[in-house]
């Protein structure tokens, strides 16, 4: 780009004593809602001295900030690529990017579009409470949270720890879910002899402060309950599996704007709902998948609920399976993104598929799946880490032992495996914000996997 040597085309910036010279077009690329973009606005320059940037020479500004970080950010505006020299700490760069209003641009330049076959290990973050990690959940902005007993530790996208969340009474946490980047919902277990210490509550993900308790009422009487799995609907619905003290089992529904209870789907005979450990909303059919899996119950149950007419429109269970298969139990399930099938996995790492378009259909089990090189590495001290599943971007992900396997294409062909941390078997993983987070059990460390941006050349 050629710019005249005089006039407002060129801008000189003295940042912390180091002089940079660039163009108004380069600074304008930052956007008018950023500090650098605002510098070009007429109102910003209304009080400038005459003769400075009026045609006699480049406009000049002094900014009392870190020049090394500014050089990285200016190069980002010029080239669109993020190149961080070894001597520039990432924390300092993120701080300076926040000051200039360029933090989102830095994040976008660092992460490529999520692709399970191109993931690379970006970081391994040690936990604070070895051995009791319950769940890891990804935030939409690339951060995450990790549940430990009655505590939920929250990390921003730069993997800096924020203030932790404590459920009232330090009730044990069963699940967590991000409503948005600033709001985190937590489901907790009610303990014997304690009143009103379980249920669902919303917290600020930024400060850790509680915002709202989601209450359940039966026959217009408020009831305490244990909340299991969480999910969000297409509108403003929050779903949670609920188990009350007086056999009030089912799935509760709340409006996330008001926090008020909107509905309750009571558990029908032969359909396990209150103990469900996975809920998933299916946009294609406007139904909620409810999965109650072994070992939480002796048999595994999967149902599709239609809240419009309070009906169970599809169901499956492995209760009463033949004796030759009775030692194999489905331990996790995920509805595929096309809404046509459910994938499940048993404790022996076999994958099975159910057709949601057919009632009473059998499971199409694959032959003994060789998902890992190391075999069945599940023992974690005195606990067992059962496999988990996730579907994202047309790919299927399965954790088995200390490895996550990636399956692609309509035939679910194994295309990649992820393994790195020495923290033992993976007890949970989550995908969101263009990242995959894997929580290990033994050392309570979580790994962060990212897709690198495409090469410029």
DSSP-derived secondary structure for 421-457: -SS-SEEEEEEETTEEEEEESSS-EEEEEEPPPPP--
pLDDT per position as a tens digit, 172-223: 999 999 999 899 999 999 988 777 788 999 999 999 999 999 999 988 888 8
How many of the other CB atoms lie within 10 Å of CB of 311? 13
**Of 123, 125, 177, 171, which Cα lies nearest the Cα of 148?**
171
In this predicted structure, what is the pLDDT of residue 56? 57
Phi/psi of residue 379, each to 5°?
Answer: -65, 125
Q: How far apart (Å, rounded) are the C-alpha atoms in residues 60 and 197?
A: 60
How confident is the model over 62-75, as a mean pLDDT? 95
d(CA 290, CA 301): 8
Which tops the pLDDT comparison, 370 or 289? Answer: 289
Q: Do domains 10-110 and 120-450 have the same CATH topology?
A: no
According to CATH, the topology of domain 120-450 is: Methylamine Dehydrogenase; Chain H (2.130.10)
pLDDT tens across 91-140, in order?
Answer: 899 999 999 999 989 988 888 889 999 999 999 998 776 556 789 999 99
Q: What is the pLDDT of residues 375-425, one digit of tens each?
A: 444 444 445 789 999 999 999 999 999 999 999 998 899 999 999 767 789
> Does 296 score more than 60 pLDDT?
yes
Backbone dihedral angles phi then psi of residue 136, each to the nearest 5 degrees? -125, 140
Helices (H), 115-175: none
pLDDT at 240: 97
Q: Which CATH architecture has domain 10-110?
A: 2-Layer Sandwich (3.30)
Q: Kindly list the domain boundaries of the chain, sorted by start residue.
A: 10-110, 120-450
| Contact between residue 248 and residue 273 where contact means Cβ atoms under 8 Å apart | no
């Amino acid at each position: 780009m050629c710019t005249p040597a005089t006039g407002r085309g060129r801008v000189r910036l003295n940042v912390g004593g180091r002089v940079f010279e660039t163009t108004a077009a380069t600074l304008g690329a930052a956007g008018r809602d950023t500090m650098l973009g605002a510098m070009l606005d007429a109102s910003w320059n209304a009080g400038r001295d005459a003769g400075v940037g009026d045609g006699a020479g480049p406009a000049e500004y002094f900014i009392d900030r870190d020049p090394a970080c500014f050089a990285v950010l200016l190069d980002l505006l010029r080239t669109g690529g993020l190149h961080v020299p070894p001597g520039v700490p990432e924390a300092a760069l993120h701080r300076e990017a926040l000051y200039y209003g360029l933090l989102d641009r830095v994040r976008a330049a660092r992460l490529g579009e999520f692709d399970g076959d191109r993931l690379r290990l970006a970081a391994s973050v040690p936990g604070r409470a070895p051995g009791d990690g319950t769940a890891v959940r990804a935030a939409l902005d690339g951060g995450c949270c990790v549940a430990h007993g009655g505590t939920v530790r929250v990390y921003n996208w730069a993997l800096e720890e924020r203030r932790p969340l404590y459920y009232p009474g330090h009730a044990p946490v069963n699940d967590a879910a991000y409503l948005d980047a600033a709001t985190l919902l937590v489901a907790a277990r009610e303990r014997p002899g304690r009143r009103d210490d379980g249920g669902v509550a919303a917290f600020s993900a930024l400060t850790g402060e509680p915002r709202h308790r989601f209450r359940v009422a039966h026959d217009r009487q408020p009831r305490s309950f244990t909340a299991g799995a969480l999910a969000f609907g297409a509108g403003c619905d929050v779903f949670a599996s609920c188990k009350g003290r007086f056999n009030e089992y089912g799935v509760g529904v709340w409006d996330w704007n008001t926090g008020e209870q909107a509905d309750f789907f009571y558990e029908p005979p032969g359909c396990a709902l209150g103990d469900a450990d996975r809920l998933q909303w299916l946009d294609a059919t406007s139904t909620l998948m409810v999965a109650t899996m072994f070992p939480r119950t002796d048999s595994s149950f999967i149902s599709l609920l239609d809240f419009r007419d309070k009906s169970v429109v599809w169901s499956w269970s492995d209760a009463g399976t033949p004796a030759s298969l009775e030692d194999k139990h489905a331990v996790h399930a995920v509805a595929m993104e096309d809404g046509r099938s459910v994938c499940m996995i048993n404790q022996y790492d076999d994958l099975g598929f159910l057709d949601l378009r057919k009632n009473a259909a059998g499971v199409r089990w694959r032959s003994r799946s060789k998902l890992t090189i190391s075999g069945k590495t599940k023992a974690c001290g005195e606990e067992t880490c059962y496999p988990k599943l996730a579907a994202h971007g047309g790919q299927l992900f399965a954790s088995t032992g200390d490895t996550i396997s990636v399956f692609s294409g309509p035939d679910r062909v194994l295309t990649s495996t992820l393994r790195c941390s020495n923290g033992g078997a993976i007890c949970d993983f989550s995908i969101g914000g263009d990242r995959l987070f894997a929580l290990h059990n033994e050392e309570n460390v979580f790994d962060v996997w990212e897709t690198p941006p495409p090469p410029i050349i």
